[in-house]
Amino acid sequence: MRGIRQLAEHLEISIGTVSRALNGKPDVNEETRRRVLAAAEELGYVANQSGRSLRQGETKVIGLMIESSQEAVENADNFFLGVTSGLQHVFARHKLDLLMLPCPSDEDPCEYLKRMVARRVVDAMIISNTQRIDRRIDLLSRARIPFVAVGRSLSAGNFPWIDLDFEGVAERAVERLASRGHRRIAITAPSSEVNLGYVFVESYRQALERRGISFDPSLVIRVKSSEQGGYQAAHELLLLEDRPTAVILIYELMAIGLYRRLMESGIVPGRDLAVIGFRDAPRARFLQPSLSCFRMSLYDLGIALGEMLLADMPAYRELYPDSGRNIIWPLELVAGESDAFEIKAMV
Amino acid sequence: MRGIRQLAEHLEISIGTVSRALNGKPDVNEETRRRVLAAAEELGYVANQSGRSLRQGETKVIGLMIESSQEAVENADNFFLGVTSGLQHVFARHKLDLLMLPCPSDEDPCEYLKRMVARRVVDAMIISNTQRIDRRIDLLSRARIPFVAVGRSLSAGNFPWIDLDFEGVAERAVERLASRGHRRIAITAPSSEVNLGYVFVESYRQALERRGISFDPSLVIRVKSSEQGGYQAAHELLLLEDRPTAVILIYELMAIGLYRRLMESGIVPGRDLAVIGFRDAPRARFLQPSLSCFRMSLYDLGIALGEMLLADMPAYRELYPDSGRNIIWPLELVAGESDAFEIKAMV
DNA sequence: CCTACAGTCGTAAACGTTTACGGGATGCGT
DNA sequence: ACGCATCCCGTAAACGTTTACGACTGTAGG
């Protein structure tokens, strides 16, 4: 069936009444409503969303931007699918739908986002992997599209975000290693342009200095947060003259490559080198020796993200009392065997 | 900036000219076009997609339906992100965008799909995980929405699909095991309502019978295709009185749980029980002993899916010569250690 | 009998685009 | 000076909805 007009003609009533009947408006005879619903079902009529959202100015759809580069795919470990279920649980309460927007790897994420919000196919957006300076945030702020970010940024003063507790993780990881006698502790991180790359290393540096351990820039290994990056990180570690006794990985996935490279040189993780990971990565759960790491619930994160977003949308604002526009997301340490040894004092 | 009307007023030219200028239509003065583009850029104007697609009747967006249930998330291992990059490579040629539609776990996929195509936010759809009887296929056929499915189905005569080569995999897996003396070969599969659950077991049965090995229904283990399912499968295998010497897993991920359960009983995969996996699952790549399995390129699959879909869309049909509306996707055997032992003849 | 009102329904405007159509200006050839 | 083509632009219709408004019944109350 084409449009509401054909449906109205078929029923021999006016188009307005059909619309009211379908949308549950009050002033329509129950008998008429029944007929309309029956006919719509029979003819398979469903309202065209373009017309509808043109008229109403909203789409009832929330967008979640993700990256689909080959690297991101290898890297991802269904982080997004994980938060998706939490998000949908929140959105379902308001009959909102979620759409994932995968940005092509060869396109500028900001241009892509601009195109997508221009399409006005979503009422609000969720972005992640924020850069220290992230033009997407300016774009969304200026376009007055409600949004929430996974990750902080220096851009655009005050916007809603949730970020992982890098400070806490760095502090606890360093504490754990230092208490076992480690003094030369390496760390892996992506480029400092990525916000998390900057914050994590900075927290690590402070945690070291609080304990009187001097910060050695050569122990900061800038590699991709991937299995491949882990391999390379191990490689670079082995080239250092004063080899570290511990390493903190910013992503658990890296442990897979790291372990492999270590094994190649006969170095046993958890005996010759302490390893601590960060963020739950299903793929890394099966390493031997098991990895000590910081984990969290992606589902809960999704819930929090969804509620924070709704609190920022005019239509739902009053339902979600000011829960704070910023959240530092806590992680829980899951102790494994990969850092279960102590360093004897050398001096 | 609100709409094209305000932009036109600001420029003191007509709304029609502005539209033509923005859309690169020929009959507009280059100087005017320059002014329009500059003003649009300055005021941040972008065309409202609702109005546009209402007028043109198309959205230039392709939808990819995925499931976001907790189970699917655990199960997924970024299969979809993998094909996504291939899909986008094809779609980018035609300035098409890809949208992922995650179906909430508590909603009927068919209802969800109906709602989404009703929204007319996509011009075409890609679905996967087809059931033997899949109402989504009828729905899309009847609504005349171009689509392509990952997986065959009994539904609706002739529709475009790509499916994995279950027959070939079952045949080669059985051959490989039988040639090493195995006679009692178990297999895991999901419910036979899922198309793949039916086809895989059927192929396995035929492969057995071609070699004169009788089919034993008790060796077909119906469990979830997940890590948890693998654990349970091992459990059930151990309960069988005449224990099999080999097992074929329909999803590699299951090997993780299976290994764990076997270890608990002191059974060593690759020595006491031969294991062969199916479909590339990054998480399962790091098992000890390494898993023998059948793999493929998700990227290439994405390319093929995209091209098959375009061949079914009126606007692009002539560009993609009839490449066949059905493809059986081949997989490559990657030999590991998990099935590297032979059975001595007992009788 | 008149008024008021509730219950229904039809009419038409509005949402923001694109585009077919026509018309005015300009330039050119005759 | 005239015809004609070219270039550019404005006008208005159309896409499919929703919804404010008004109109038409029938009923009850005065």
Is the Cβ–Cβ distance between A244 and A185 less than 8 Å?
yes
Q: CA B27, C1' D11: Å apart?
A: 16
Q: CA A56, C1' C15: Å apart?
A: 7
Closest to B135 (Cα-Cα) out of B158, B109, B157, B117: B109
Write down the pLDDT at residue B142.
79
| Inter-chain residue contact B286 with A282, CB threshold 8 Å | no
Count CB atoms within 10 A of the CB of residue B148.
26
Is the Cβ–Cβ distance between A120 and A53 less than 8 Å?
yes
Alpha carbon of B203: minimum distance to chain A alpha carbons (Å)? 30
In whole angstroms, give the CA distance from residue B152 to residue B199: 9
B189 beta partners:
B222
Q: Is the CB of B309 under 7 A from strand C?
A: no
The protein residue nearest D14 (Cα–C1') is: B55
A269-283, A310-324, B127-141, B197-211: which is most confident = B197-211
CATH of B61-159+297-330, one of 3.40.50.2300, 3.30.70.660, 3.50.50.60, 3.90.550.10: 3.40.50.2300
| Inter-chain residue contact A143 with B44, CB threshold 8 Å | yes
Region for B24 from its dihedrals, namely left if φ exceeds 0, alpha if ψ lies in -120 to 50, beta otherwise = left
In whole angstroms, give the CA distance from residue A254 to residue A256: 5
Residue A346 has pLDDT above 60, yes or no: no
Structure tokens at A301: 């994160």
| Inter-chain residue contact B120 with A49, CB threshold 8 Å | yes
| Inter-chain residue contact B101 with A101, CB threshold 8 Å | no
Count CB atoms within 10 A of the CB of residue A321.
7
Which H or E run includes B233?
A: helix B227-239
State pLDDT tens for residues A106-165: 889 988 898 888 777 889 999 998 888 899 998 888 778 899 999 988 876 789 999 999
Which of residues B157 and A267 earns the better pLDDT score?
A: A267
Nearest nucleotide, CA A54 to C1': C15
CATH number of the structural domain B166-296: 3.40.50.2300
| Inter-chain residue contact A97 with B74, CB threshold 8 Å | no
Q: CA B8, C1' C23: Å apart?
A: 20
Contacts B105 to A, Cβ<8 Å: 85, 88
Answer yes or no: same fold for A4-47 and A166-295.
no
Alpha carbon of A282: minimum distance to chain B alpha carbons (Å)? 7
Structure tokens at B267: 């059974």
Residue A284 has pLDDT above 50, yes or no: yes
Write down the pLDDT at residue B268.
93
Pairing status of strand B292-295 against strand B274-278: parallel
| Inter-chain residue contact B68 with A84, CB threshold 8 Å | yes
Contacts B114 to A, Cβ<8 Å: 46
How many DSSP H helices and E strands does chain B contain? 13, 12
Per residue of chain B (347 residues), give pLDDT as tens.
578 999 999 999 999 999 999 999 988 999 999 999 999 988 888 888 889 989 998 888 899 999 877 666 666 777 888 899 899 999 988 888 899 999 988 889 988 898 888 777 889 999 998 888 899 998 888 778 899 999 988 876 789 999 999 999 999 999 999 999 999 999 999 988 888 889 899 999 999 999 999 999 999 999 998 888 999 999 999 999 999 999 999 999 899 899 999 999 999 999 999 999 998 787 787 788 899 999 999 999 999 999 999 999 988 888 888 777 899 999 999 999 999 888 875 54
List all nucleotides in chain D with at least one atom under 7 A from a protein Cβ: 7-12, 14-20, 22
Say which of A49, A78, A88 has its CB closest to residue B104: A88
- Mean pLDDT score across all residues of chain A: 89
3-class secondary structure per residue, A46-75: CCCHHHHHHHHCCCCEEEEEEECCHHHHHH
* Confidence at A345, pLDDT banded by 50, 70, 90: low
Architecture per CATH, domain A166-295, reads as 3-Layer(aba) Sandwich (3.40)
Contacts 24+ apart (CB under 8 A), B18-22: B22/B47
| Inter-chain residue contact B76 with A72, CB threshold 8 Å | no
Residue A83 has pLDDT above 80, yes or no: yes
Q: List all residues 6 or more positions away from A12 whose beta carbon is below 8 Å from its beta carbon.
A: none
Q: CA B13, C1' C1: Å apart?
A: 61
Write down the pLDDT at residue A347.
46
Q: Give backbone dihedrals phi and psi of A162, rounded to 5 degrees, phi first.
A: -125, 135
What SS3 class is residue A45? coil
* Interchain CB contacts (distance < 8 Å): A and B: 141
Which H or E run includes B147?
A: strand B147-150
In whole angstroms, give the CA distance from residue B37 to residue B298: 40
Contacts B287 to A, Cβ<8 Å: 286
| Inter-chain residue contact B49 with A119, CB threshold 8 Å | yes
Which H or E run includes A302?
A: helix A298-310
Alpha carbon of A22: minimum distance to chain B alpha carbons (Å)? 14
Sequence ranges of the domains in chain A: 4-47, 61-159+297-330, 166-295
Contacts A53 to B, Cβ<8 Å: 50
Mean pLDDT lowest among A30-34, A43-47, A61-65, B254-258: A43-47
State pLDDT tens for residues B296-339: 999 999 999 999 999 999 888 888 887 778 999 999 999 999 99
Is the Cβ–Cβ distance between B84 and B100 less than 8 Å?
yes
Q: CA A22, C1' D25: Å apart?
A: 23
| Inter-chain residue contact A120 with B299, CB threshold 8 Å | no
List all nucleotides in chain C with at least one atom under 7 A from a protein Cβ: 7-12, 14-20, 22
Max Cα-Cα span within chain A: 96
Structure tokens at B272: 């006491």
- Residues A198/A201/A204/A210 CA torsion (nearest 10 deg): -70
In whole angstroms, give the CA distance from residue A18 to residue A7: 8
3-class secondary structure per residue, A187-199: EEECCCCEHHHHH
Q: Identify protein residues whose C-beta is within 7 angstroms of any atom in strand D.
A: A 2-5, 15-16, 19-20, 22-23, 25, 27, 45, 47-48, 50-52, 54-56; B 13-17, 20, 27-30, 32, 51, 54-55, 57
Architecture per CATH, domain A4-47, reads as Orthogonal Bundle (1.10)
Q: CA B12, C1' C26: Å apart?
A: 22
Cis peptide before A289 (omega within 30 of 0): yes
Q: CA A92, C1' C8: Å apart?
A: 34
Summarize the confidence of residues A100-105 as an average pLDDT: 89
| Inter-chain residue contact B88 with A104, CB threshold 8 Å | yes
CA nearest to A72 within chain B: B81
Residue A227 has pLDDT above 50, yes or no: yes
Alpha carbon of A24: minimum distance to chain B alpha carbons (Å)? 17
Write down the pLDDT at residue B258.
95
In whole angstroms, give the CA distance from residue A252 to residue A75: 10
Mutate to test the interface with B, among A23, A43, A50 (most CBs of B within 10 A): A50
Write down the pLDDT at residue A152.
87
In whole angstroms, give the CA distance from residue A286 to residue B160: 39
Write down the pLDDT at residue A270.
92
